[in-house]
Amino acid sequence: MSESSILQRASLGAWLEAMGRAGQRVLAPVREADRVVFATPSAPDQIATGFVQTPASAKAVVFPPYDEMLRFRANGEDVHVEEPSIAAEPTVLFGVRPCDAASFATLRAVFTWDSPDAWFEARMASLTVISVSCTQCDEYCFCTSVGGGPGSTQGSDILLTPLDDRRWLAEVLTEKGQAAAALAPQLFAPANGEAANKEKVLAHVPVRFEAKEFAQWLPSLFDRTDVWKEQSLRCLGCGACAFVCPTCSCFDIQDERVRDQGTRLRCWDSCGFRLFTLHASGHNPRHVQSERWRQRVMHKFSYQPERLGVTGCVGCGRCSRACPVDMNLGEHVRMLSEMSV
Amino acid sequence: MTTFATAPSASQRRNLYTPHKMRIVKATDEAPAVRTFQLQFVDAEVAARFSFQAGQFGEYSVYGEGESTFCIASSPTRKGYIECTFRQAGRVTSALADRQEGDIIGFRGPYGNTFPVEHWEGKKILFIAGGIALPPVRCVIWNVLDLRDRYQDVSIIYGARTVADLVYKHELADWDQRSDVNLWVTVDPGGQTPEWTGKVGFVPAIVEEVKPRPADTIAVLCGPPIMIKLTLPVLAKLGFAPEQIYTTLENRMKCGVGKCGRCNVGKLFVCKDGPVFTLAQLNELPPEY
């Protein structure tokens, strides 16, 4: 389905306006104080450029930090229950990195492998992903180790690659991408062989390990308690890694109540928290932090590939940038992968 | 040209996490802080559609407090209601314990796999349970006893810390009276009362004393981790193979449908692939349960 064309950067405003007129909510990287966050830009020049990665991923678009699942009101001995609408707002996610676009496949695997999750499906169905290739990376990036790349088209409906300061190469990849481009067809000019220049502008992200190969024998490292301990001795169990991760999808279900009214919320959670697996009896299957670190690595690089056919990591490096004690997932996994059996 | 949003499918409109309303028709205090609720669906249509099998579990909720995971403690042979037995331990179970007969609570399920009781027909069944782990076993006990002629000997070894902590005391008395059930009830040393006529000793020691024979036998074992850990070597010594020993895991859960991640053990989800496992299956897993 891939069709390449050229889009002038100066036309972005006209294109975004057309999306707005078509009833789309547009989310894009926008500078907010010293950070870049996903928000609706008030003007196209608000859209941030020149950053390597946003601190938080865009997963909240399909899996919000707090999701209202039910509302209820006490009604004598009975209770009145209301189900929030499952309809999702048509949304264009503009300017995510290829690693983020790839992360939706992992989320989709978790939320739909069995008993499909209604909110997730509705939000995915109404989401159009327009990503921008990476022309720079930093020491935390390792997309090329987990099957991705700075110009990878996985998960994108349209991929834009900046050829120079003025022009993007636009690869329209899906039907949703075609629909988005068709909102302003006059802005897209034939690529005339420019597609060949894509590779030249992409960042060089070194390959640290081969995730697919690593998945085969990672289970054999399960009993290397010494290694898991050494890697996680400084882990605070704060969960920052999971909260910024584009593929972490573990959640909690909690009720909030004020007098006789309440809501049931689905909230982000983390396998790094002690409470995550704590039984009511006090028994905890993963009672020390090194076991929780091992679970994090095993789940992403062995269990999810084996069970769901997806790697639970896209190499965006956010966990390592966010870690207050400088744990580095890419480096830790590289070290594990070099412990050849 | 296609449009942006595609029409939602049936699954896209169904909220997986909406509980069915159930009315508490009977509440029984079993032991200190342990209660049993007998529950019936408020909606007759839901009641008519509902069925479950031995070993399955559900998410029980108090609206405004949250959900807790318990097995269905009644037998699928008893139609028209389900029962759950729980110990008051945290926010949800404390709120549940405050509910009275006539009150409405939420239930979603049944979830998980089942004890293959049909495959066990013609065999001897040995139940071994400790403390608050009798409820998931009780479901299977009644399932087998309600179809008694399909099975050979039925033996039950049950222990608790103290006499007061024994649950289903009326049913224990009932099973004790039956000539077609072999029952041994024990309490931990120091947990007996002057009137206690049952055994005194830890469950593994009682199993060693009873010496059940492995031939043509299925063992259903459920209890606190320490009891399981010390009973397994006894069963192995008696000649039980890992394929003959069944248990049900009690990993912490939230969603019950393979998404929230907390019951993940190795590549398995206890809520989808379990909670019922043979020891042979557990031996293949990381020891994180």
Q: Of the residues A207, A222, A255, which one is the last residue of a structural domain? A: A207
By the 10 Å C-beta count (0-12 exposed, 13-18 middle, 19+ buried), B172 is classed as middle
For residue A29, give Cα distances in angstroms to A53, A119, B202, B220, B268: 9, 24, 62, 56, 37
Do residue A42 and residue A185 come from a single domain? yes
Q: Of the residues A180, A207, A234, which one is the last residue of a structural domain? A: A207
For residue B221, give Cα distances in angstroms to B110, B116, B246: 21, 14, 6
* pTM of full prediction above 0.90: yes
Cβ–Cβ under 8 Å, residues A246 and A58: yes
The answer to whether residue A62 is domain-embedded is no
Do residue A91 and residue A182 come from a single domain? yes
Query: What local confidence, expressed as pLDDT, does residue A187 receive?
Result: 95
CA distance B4 to A157: 11
More confident residue, B20 or A85: B20
pLDDT of A92 > 60? The answer is yes
Containing structural domain, residue A245: 208-341
Among B4, B17, B65, beta carbon nearest to A257: B65
Name chain B contacts of A88, Cβ cutoff 8 Å.
Answer: 5
Instruction: Give mean pLDDT, residues A250-267.
Output: 95
CA distance A110 to A113: 6
pLDDT digits (tens, 9 = 90+) for B67-124: 999 999 999 999 999 999 999 999 999 999 999 999 999 999 999 999 999 999 999 9
CA distance B211 to B238: 7
Question: Given an 8 Å threshold on Cβ–Cβ distance, is A303 in contact with B4?
Answer: no
Do residue A27 and residue A171 come from a single domain? yes
Query: What local confidence, expressed as pLDDT, does residue A340 receive?
Result: 64
Interface of B with A in 75-94 (CB under 8 A): 87, 89-90, 93
Q: What is the ipTM of this complex?
A: 0.90
Q: Of the residues A174, A207, A240, which one is the last residue of a structural domain? A: A207
Cβ–Cβ under 8 Å, residues B220 and B244: no
pLDDT digits (tens, 9 = 90+) for B176-231: 999 999 999 999 999 999 999 999 999 999 999 999 999 999 999 999 989 999 99
pLDDT digits (tens, 9 = 90+) for A292-318: 999 999 999 999 999 999 999 999 999
Do residue A262 and residue A318 come from a single domain? yes
CA distance B235 to B18: 42
- Three-class SS state of B131: helix
The answer to whether residue A58 is domain-embedded is no
CA-nearest residue to B61 within chain A is A255
Instruction: Retrieve residue A155's tokens.
Output: 């998960």
CATH no. for B124-248: 3.40.50.80
Query: What local confidence, expressed as pLDDT, does residue B138 receive?
Result: 97
Instruction: Retrieve residue B144's tokens.
Output: 């087998």
Taking the domains of chain B in order of start, what are their residue ranges?
19-111, 124-248, 249-289
The answer to whether residue A293 is domain-embedded is yes
Q: Mean pLDDT score of chain A, rounded to an integer?
A: 94
CA distance B214 to A36: 65
Do residue A37 and residue A142 come from a single domain? yes
For residue A240, give Cα distances in angstroms to A155, A273, B265: 25, 11, 23
Do residue A190 and residue A231 come from a single domain? no
Interface of B with A in 260-289 (CB under 8 A): 260-262, 264-268, 272, 286, 288-289
For residue A209, give Cα distances in angstroms to A147, A215, A218: 10, 11, 12
Cβ–Cβ under 8 Å, residues B14 and B88: no
| Selection from B34, B33, B59 nearest residue B259 by Cα | B59
Query: What local confidence, expressed as pLDDT, does residue A75 receive?
Result: 77
SS (H, E, C) chain A: CCEEEEEEHHHHHHHHHHHHHCCCEEEEEEEECCEEEEECCCCHHHECCCCCCCCCCCHHHCCCCEEEEEEEEEECCEEEEECCCCCCCCEEEEEECHHHHHHHHHHHHHHHCCCCCHHHHHHHHCEEEEEECCCCCCCCCCHHHCCCCCCCCCCCCEEEEECCCCEEEEEECCHHHHHHHCCCHHHEEECCCHHHHHHHHCCCCCCCCCHHHHHHHHHHHCCCHHHHHHHHCCCCCCCHHHHHCCCCCCEEEEEEEECCEEEEEEEECCCCCHHHCCCCCCCCCCCCHHHHHHHHHHHHHHHHHHHHCCCCCCCCCHHHHHCCCCCCHHHHHHHHHCCCC
**Chain B: closest CA distance from residue A134 (Å):** 26
CA angle B139, B145, B147 (to 5 degrees): 110
Residue B267 host element (H or E): none
Do residue A17 and residue A137 come from a single domain? yes
Sorted by sequence, the CB contacts under 8 Å of residue B81 that are 6+ apart come out as B25, B38, B39, B40, B74
**Chain A: closest CA distance from residue B123 (Å):** 33
pLDDT band at A19; cut points 50, 70, 90? very high
The answer to whether residue A276 is domain-embedded is yes
Do residue A237 and residue A199 come from a single domain? no
CATH no. for B19-111: 2.40.30.10
pLDDT digits (tens, 9 = 90+) for A151-207: 999 999 999 999 999 999 999 999 999 999 999 999 999 998 889 999 999 999 999
CA-nearest residue to B264 within chain A is A299
Amino acid identity, residue B277?
F
Provide the domain count of chain A. Answer: 2
Do residue A171 and residue A302 come from a single domain? no
Question: Given an 8 Å threshold on Cβ–Cβ distance, is A90 in contact with B9?
Answer: no
Question: Given an 8 Å threshold on Cβ–Cβ distance, is B288 in contact with A295?
Answer: yes
Query: What local confidence, expressed as pLDDT, does residue B5 receive?
Result: 46
CA angle A43, A48, A53 (to 5 degrees): 150
pLDDT digits (tens, 9 = 90+) for B24-43: 999 999 999 999 999 999 99
